[in-house]
Amino acid sequence: MKFLTRIINSLGKLCAWLTVLLAVLLLSVVVLRYGFNIGATAIQETVVYFHGFALLMGAGMTLIDDKHVRVDVFYRNLPLQKQGMINAVGLFILAAPVFIFIAWMSYPYVLMSWRLLESSQETGGLPFVYLQKSMLLMFPLVMLLSISVCLAKAIKQIKGVH
């Protein structure tokens, strides 16, 4: 699990750096448009691609680091073993099926995009729409791997191993 955690954390750190690049690109789009009256469709689409990548691929690190949004009414005050049980049940019964469903429903959509080598419909847009749509499959994969790491942590909590 440590290897998997390192991979997912590395992906999360890449996403953090991409957000810095995303901000620079977005600033350049604004300067070009409003400072020089130049449209930059390819840069605008790159911003959208980077934003999607950062959001979807960074979610796994957020889950592993337990930084995700949690509606905490009783959880915080429970013993670690009960917290582990809640996490295990939630991950296995609620989270995993959702990501399996997302992958299952997205597969034909992504496959068709790859078959067509779908590109932007905008003039000057990027010819890589199929790569952007591939994130619909990469996201549940990363999340399922993250869920497996979190399940291992939850099982350790249940057993009382810290």
Please choose, from the candidates 80, 52, 47, the residue with its C-alpha nearest in 3D space to the C-alpha of residue 162. Answer: 80
- Residue 59: other Cβ atoms inside 10 A: 19
pTM of the model: 0.87
Residues 31-47: pLDDT tens digits? 999 999 988 889 999 99
CA-to-CA distance for 106 and 59, rounded, in angstroms? 18
Residues 99-126: pLDDT tens digits? 999 999 999 999 999 999 999 998 888 9
DSSP 39: -
Residues of the chain with pLDDT under 70: 162
The residue extents of the domains of the chain are 2-159
